[in-house]
Structures are given as C-alpha cells and as structure tokens.
Amino acid sequence: MMIKVDLNCDLGESFGAWKMGFDEKIIPFVSSANIACGFHAGDPVVMEKTVALVKRGGAAAGAHPGFPDLSGFGRRNLAMSPAEVKACVQYQIGALDAFCRAAGIRLCHVKPHGALYNMAAKDPALADAIVDAVREINPRLVLLALAGSRMVLAAREKGIPVAEEVFADRAYEEDGSLVSRTKPGAMITDEEEAIERVLGMIKNGTVKAVTGRDIQVGADSVCIHGDGEKALLFAEKLNAAITKEGITIVGLEEICS
C-alpha cells in the first residue's frame, strides 16, 4: 500500500522592511504553503509576493490566520470570544483568497497559527468557531489541524475535510498536545532525531512523548518551520529521507480525497 504525506511550511511571515524565513529556497521541498495573513505576521505586499512565489513553485496555497498580535508573533494567548475568533479568521481567509484569485490560483486549505492553533486544539468552542469560519467561506477548504485535537473532531462533526498535522521539530505531551515553547526540551534541535521521529509518525502512527511513553498520532501532513537557522538544510534532508522510504509527497487535497 502506497503511503502518502503532505509537507507544509509557514511562509510569508516577513513584515515591511523586516525579513523572516527562507521562503524562496524552501518552497521546492514542500507541497503546501501556509501564508500569513497580516495579523500575526505578513502584510499586503508580502502576501501578494508570497502567493506569486507559491504559484511559481507549484505548492498548494493555504491561509495561515492568527491572533491580531504582530508584536508577539501570534504566540500569546488572547482572551477573544468564539464569535471574535470566527470573524478574525474569516477576515484573514478572505484577504488571502483575494490575492489567490488575483494571481489565478485556488486557495486550498486553512491552518491556524500559533496560540490560536494551540488553544483551539483543546477548546471545543474555539475549534467550532474556526471550523464554522472555514465552512461558511468554502466547505471544500481543507482544515490543517493538530493530530487528535478538538479541531480535527469539530471538522469531522461538521463535515469539512481535515488533515491531521504533526511537527518535525516539536516535542509532545502525553495528551498529544505540543510541549510549550517556554519549557525545556520543547524544540527538537537534532536533525537526525527529528527525521527519525517524523518517519515513525508517518509509518507507524506513533511518537515518543516527553515522558518517554509512545503515543498515537495521525500524520497526514508534516510541518517544517521555515524560520530556523537550519530550516533550508532540514527541509532538504527531510524531503530526501521521506522519498527514500518510498513515501509519496502529495498535496492536502489528494490526502483528503
């Protein structure tokens, strides 16, 4: 049986004169691009350029909506109501969709960012708000969500396509949530260890939590963070390792078909 997986990366996170990431160099190694929509990162000019880059590179374009928190890069928990979150997400999806339409490509998926992503992974009300935001705009958009999270459950309950995401460079708690970046050991910095973990998640559906216990995870898509010092080298190595194992890299729409 052929194993398929999507490789996704967060792109378009520069802002004004401030440049972040290695977007142009990483795009050839991923199948899906999550493009910042101006709330946690990015701006209209960056969004336009990133959509054009994704079009040239052939990756699927996705909206990457976050909390309105530029100075905190969307990684701070905000006390927003579900109604506010829904409107915030729809606003950002709509903005990116406009750039995609102007460039002649389709918006394919939505992946919440940072604190919004982590909060909605556990909070049913926020998960429902995000799923409703996506469904009302386009029920064919794929929601990219943390494996085993409330967002995955909400998407399945409400009938929109969903892909379960795992992280190459993040440690896991026993409940399947990501270890907070404020805790020691939250980031997996050894490239070979990260690749071994990813292959285990794709092939076996398991990963070792920080407690040492193996936990179950669904791995439809693997996130590669594009802003690290070794991001480009890691993207190359991970892509090569997955391909060498006979695993086919495809877009999210094929994963969910």
In a domain, 234, yes or no: no
Pairing label, strands 60-64, 4-11: unpaired
pLDDT of residue 84: 98
145 touches 182 (CB < 8 A): no
In a domain, 107, yes or no: yes
CA distance 44 to 47: 5
In a domain, 112, yes or no: yes
CA distance 194 to 232: 14
CA distance 57 to 245: 24
Average pLDDT, consecutive stretches of 10 residues, N- to C-terminus, the chain (257 residues): 93 93 92 97 98 97 98 96 98 98 98 97 98 98 98 98 94 93 88 93 95 95 79 89 96 93
In a domain, 3, yes or no: no
Tell me how many domains the chain contains. 1
156 touches 162 (CB < 8 A): yes
Domain span at 144: 8-166+218-228+246-255
In a domain, 62, yes or no: yes
pLDDT of residue 228: 65
| Residue 167 CB-density burial (10 A; 0-12 exposed, 13-18 middle, 19+ buried) | buried
In a domain, 19, yes or no: yes
pLDDT of residue 185: 87
Q: Which CATH number belongs to the domain containing residue 77 in this structure?
A: 3.20.20.370
pLDDT of residue 229: 64
In a domain, 47, yes or no: yes
